Structure 1
């Protein structure tokens, strides 16, 4: 192999090594391969770290033109004058737009601005979570909402599913995902559907079952002091239904005693009332 080929091979190895190190996400991607004692020993936009080696300043990235020529260029979001001031680790072109390094169309910067990645919306094919730009979405062959989130009706956002009655909402599906017989009220909170009720702290809506109705749980009985006994909503111990069968009232013995007392009082008062009326005519 001739000398020229060896030099070219060495340059390619160095450049590819930097790119691969970049892709691996190592912390020293800003390190410039040059020893130093002072900042003045380094290229523009770099400083001498620990009087040992040059390192690009924050928001700058190392660019290797060849094995012996390095420079520090702006990352996405950094200031620029021309396109060549901007550089990406992947080699994808970046653009200087209004004096700021910017990704090409249909791409957005990664978390540290060192590269541009494809922009993918909900239901679009993807390879990594970072490609999914909709808040609270992730990649699973396509971009979709994360666990405990639902896709909005307009399919342009991920909405938090409600965990309990009263949680905020904007669409019914946020409530029904975990809470069942619920709806998103006009006030923007999850509430029970008509014909159902909620007993705190339970995060569940129970059907409104009146006295005499079939039930499976005490919470289903919508009448105060009623219990589910033998599969039927009935008044609790010592209580009886009122005349309309819509309320539970005091026990029957107490009512009988009260009724007897009223009869006695009337029997004593009525004769005197009749005498008074007779004498006054």
Structure 2
């Protein structure tokens, strides 16, 4: 059954071709057409398509004259399509045919336009992406200094933080130079730090104190203040790095073997002249 259908279809195609050729020959013999009339092709519907003389680098296809592979039709002429950024061009279409919509022809060479960037070994142009936008290639984010494509998002490189659509370095050390608060807060000093307006140096916010051994700005929860027991945020600035205070039963208290001073600013050893 299938073989019979194939034979019938083949005979139908031959019949169409014979009819088209006969019409062409008839036109030639009657003087209605010149001997330069083009060949006949068959399209997907099985109908004959008569092509005019096709231009160079073209052939008669199912829809008439069609450019060969790697060529693009421009003003009825087949021009060589660009395969990579930097290939020669006369028209923008030569670039866009394979390199995509973010390419253009500039000074007889295909380049990526101002909103595009070359990827995949210069074989195509993809859109540049801003920080926080989705990306596929590193190159899409590289136009931002210290930007990268990480987990399908344009982000700042490690050691940098986003500010005003750019990446600026974080500051990890207390009293180091800074320009913006985020530089200090995203470094080791933590959320309790700030960039002082007067000195332009990283410091600790009000009610936060610098814990030198932790290199961190900690919230100064003093004696008898409530604490959560998780963040180790009980801190007495007067004791410096030798902290003898801890969170006990959700209250900041002196460690075992230590007593609070009269002003509750220090925790000293039991044998010191102090008051519980």
> Residue 131 and residue 218 in structure 1: after superposition, are their counterparts in 2 closer, same or farther (change >3 A)?
same
CA offset at residue 245 of structure 1?
Answer: 3.0
The correspondence for 1:195, drawn from 141, 155, 159, is: 159
Q: Is the 8 A contact 2:131 2:153 kept in 1?
A: no
Match of 1:231 in 2: 200
Paired position in structure 2 for 1:139: 105
Superposition map of 1:1-281 within 5 A: 81=48, 85-86=51-52, 92=56, 94-97=58-61, 101-104=65-68, 106-110=70-74, 115-121=77-83, 122-132=85-95, 133=97, 134-135=99-100, 136-140=102-106, 141-170=108-137, 172-177=138-143, 179-185=144-150, 187-198=151-162, 202-210=164-172, 211-221=174-184, 222=187, 223-229=190-196, 230-242=199-211, 244-250=214-220, 263=260
TM-score scaled by length of structure 1: 0.52
Q: What whole-Å deviation, never above 9, does each CA across 1:71-113 have from its counterpart, x for those lacking one?
A: xx9xxx977746x52466xx55742246753214542234xx8
The CA deviation at 1:224 is: 0.8
* Shift in Å, 1:252: 7.7
Q: TM-score, normalised by structure 2?
A: 0.53
Aligned-partner Cα distance in 2 for 1:142–1:204: 31
Q: What RMSD in Å do the two structures reach over aligned CA positions?
A: 4.1
In the alignment, structure 2 segments of 5+ residues that lack a partner are 1-31, 226-234, 237-251, 265-269, 271-276
Cα distance in 1 for partners of 2:113, 2:136 equals: 17
Asked whether the 8 Å contact 1:86–1:94 carries over to 2, the reply is no
Provide the aligned length of Structure 1 versus Structure 2: 185
Contact 1:240 1:252 in 2 (8 A): no
Q: How many angstroms apart in 2 are the aligned matches of 1:92 and 1:190?
A: 46
- The 1:166–1:246 alpha-carbon spacing in structure 2 relative to 1, beyond 3 Å, is farther
2:175 match: secondary structure: coil
Question: SS of the counterpart of 2:148?
Answer: strand
Q: What is the CA distance between 1:114 and its match in structure 2? A: 5.0
Separation of aligned partners in 2, 1:226 and 1:81: 79
